[in-house]
Amino acid sequence: MTAREEQESAIGFEAWSHERARHFEWAAESMMPRPGAGPKRLIGAMRYAVLGGGKRIRPLLCYAAGVISGADEAVLDRAALALEMIHSYSLVHDDMPSMDNDTLRRGRPTCHVQYGEALAMLAGDALQAEAFTVISAPQVPAETAARLTQTLARAAGVWGMCGGQALDLAMVGEHPGEAELLRMQAMKTGAMILASVLMGAQAGCWEKLGDGAKAGLVQYAQSLGVAFQVVDDILDCTQDTKTLGKTAGKDEKDDKPTWVSLLGLEGARERAENLEREALQALQLVEADREVPEAGAQRLREIALYVVRRTH
């Protein structure tokens, strides 16, 4: 892209991502459990955890990948909400005293500070269950529901998010090399980024996509996942708490291994740029598939640029 094309694309992306984020808030708000006759405080805690904002990267990836397979918006809404419910529950549990013991998240008190530990744990547990309720509802075709469930469950479990979190716990105070850090993060955060892209595409005509396009999507998501983490580490040590909406400089204080401690600040920045390039190249494989609409990967491309260049 020329500098001008890049600027125009950035404007188009900003409008698209704002519209999608607004749409997602509406869809999440209307599909999330409501208090009323139910367990009010539990539902309150769940809504507090999910509806409290956040960058909504996973829903955006899901919507963007849905373009590739012509996915139905109503199914994408469900996939996007399920992804964000799993992501939000993991934040609630990670913030608890027995884990990271953090008190600030998205610029507000963390869930256990607001609702107490017992209810925060339960809210996380219930969010995970409701994520699977949402994607397996009768409104979703059975083939799609089974595929979305399998993808999300694998990403959330032992070989994905939870397993990565366990490896991360085991690493505190250790000095892991690049390979170990990569592997831990590929599970802890990478698996859910990959699931976001896959679920978007699986919400539509997944079976029509060729192996090349599928491999391209996986490669894109993997590069993006690492880039996301590298940039997070850079921001954690260059931005303040107010800008981030969460406690800054925490990784260093907790003696956690980061990309900055491993490669230095400049090295980390270089690495992020290389990963961005890899992600964009992978999308060429996707667009080479004749089932994929012309410029069908445009939003995924823009998300990669946004993720690497964001400032919070």
Residues binding its own copies (CB under 8 A): 33, 38-39, 41-43, 46, 89-90, 93, 96, 98-99, 116-119, 121-122, 124-126, 128-133, 135-138, 140, 142-143, 145-147, 149-150, 152-154, 156-167, 169-170
Q: Closest separation between CB of residue 22 and its own copies, Å? A: 25
Closer residue to its own copies, CB minimum distance, 208 or 310 = 208
Task: Look up residue 1 and give its two tokens.
Answer: 């892209």
C-alpha–C-alpha distance, residues 240 and 246, integer Å: 9
Q: How far is the CB of 82 from its own copies (least distance, A)?
A: 10
How far is 228 from 215, CA to CA, in rounded Å?
20
Q: How many angstroms separate the first and last alpha carbons of the chain?
A: 25
Nearer Cβ to its own copies (42/235): 42
Task: Look up residue 8 and give its two tokens.
Answer: 């125009």
Q: How far is the CB of 97 from its own copies (least distance, A)?
A: 8
Query: Closer CB to its own copies, residue 17 or residue 88?
Result: 88
Residues 6+ apart with CB under 8 A from 111: 45, 48, 49, 92, 95, 105, 120, 123, 124
Shortest Cβ 246–its own copies spacing (Å):
19
- 11: nearest Cα among 250, 40, 187, 19: 19
Residue (of 93, 81, 153, 145) closest to 119 by Cα position: 93
Minimum distance between the CB of residue 39 and its own copies, rounded to whole angstroms?
Answer: 4
* CA nearest neighbour of 47 among 62, 61, 30: 30
> Could you tell me the smallest distance in angstroms from the CB atom of residue 37 to its own copies?
10
The answer to whether the CB of 236 falls within 8 A of the CB of 312 is no
- Of 106 and 154, nearer to its own copies (C-beta) is 154
Q: Which is nearer to its own copies, 49 or 280 (CB)?
A: 49
Distance (Å, whole) CA 258 – CA 52: 27
**Nearest approach, Cβ of residue 123 and its own copies (Å):** 8
Which residue lies nearer to its own copies by CB, 130 or 236?
130
Query: What is the amino acid identity at position 273?
Result: E
What amino acid is encoded at 178 in this protein? Answer: E
Between residues 74 and 169, which has the closer beta carbon with respect to its own copies?
169
Could you tell me if 196 and 61 are in contact, meaning their C-beta atoms sit under 8 angstroms apart? yes
CB-count burial class (<10 Å; 0-12, 13-18, 19+) for 142: exposed
41/256 with CB nearer its own copies? 41
The whole-angstrom separation of Cα 163 and Cα 166 is 5
Residue indicated by tokens 């744990």:
121
Kindly state the smallest distance separating residue 259's Cβ from its own copies, in Å. Answer: 21
Q: How far is the CB of 99 from its own copies (least distance, A)?
A: 5
- Shorter beta-carbon distance to its own copies: residue 125 or 278: 125
